[in-house]
Amino acid sequence: MRTRLAKVLFTAAVLGVVFGIAVAAVFAADFGDVAGNTALTRTLTLQASDLGKGVTAPTDVSIGTTPAVPAVLFDAVAETANVNITLPADLDVAVDMTLVLVVALSSTETNGDTLDWTCDYVTSAENTTGDGPAKTSTQVTGSTTVTTGNGLAIGDVYTVTLTFDNADATNPVDGTTTVLNAEVHLTNVTGVADIHVLGAELNYEGSH
């Protein structure tokens, strides 16, 4: 009798440990650690219509017929567009943000051509003297190579990633930063000389 009881208790203990670990693993995966910390990538989606136009403006166009997809055509380095974003309250400032441009080829390209983009940006803190949009900007660049395997035809879709250094000395992203103002343009027209921008994504780590 004692032997049978011991076996039952031992089995229950093992199952308790196994299921306890499993439940803890699921809880951590879904809800973070015991302190309630989570790290999830979040996305703010921008449509072509959300892009403001610079002094030398790119051209509003549409692609296709059904649906007719709105896009912005860039075909000169001087053409600029901008985005002004109030930074989310759950932004984890320890992880760099990225702005991902979603583009479609507007001409047939050659294998190995590059999509080269430049972004000039400023970050601003509320109630801080000299920290508005008129201050010195920071410049970042991004490049994507078009290939035969990924498509060289008109309408083929690519992305170009621009990364913001949250620890930048002039335009940091910290606990006081409230606004991001960014201006984008083609770096050159020697690779992919003209491109349709369909929209963009601001990706960031959420702190909770």
Q: What is the pLDDT of residues 53-103, one digit of tens each?
A: 999 999 999 999 999 999 999 999 999 999 999 999 999 999 999 999 999
- In this prediction, residue 207 has a pLDDT band, given cuts at 50, 70 and 90, of confident
CA distances (Å), origin 193, targets 27, 41, 166: 50, 32, 31
Q: How far apart are CA 13 and CA 178, in angstroms?
A: 52
| Averaged pLDDT score across all residues of the chain | 85
Q: How far apart are CA 91 and CA 207, in angstroms?
A: 6
- In this prediction, residue 110 has a pLDDT band, given cuts at 50, 70 and 90, of very high
CB atoms within 10 A of CB 15: 10
Q: What is the pLDDT of residue 12?
A: 40
Stronger pLDDT, 109 or 12, i.e. the higher one = 109
For 159, the token pair is 């992305």
Q: How far apart are CA 21 and CA 37, in angstroms?
A: 19
Q: How far apart are CA 102 and CA 43, in angstroms?
A: 13
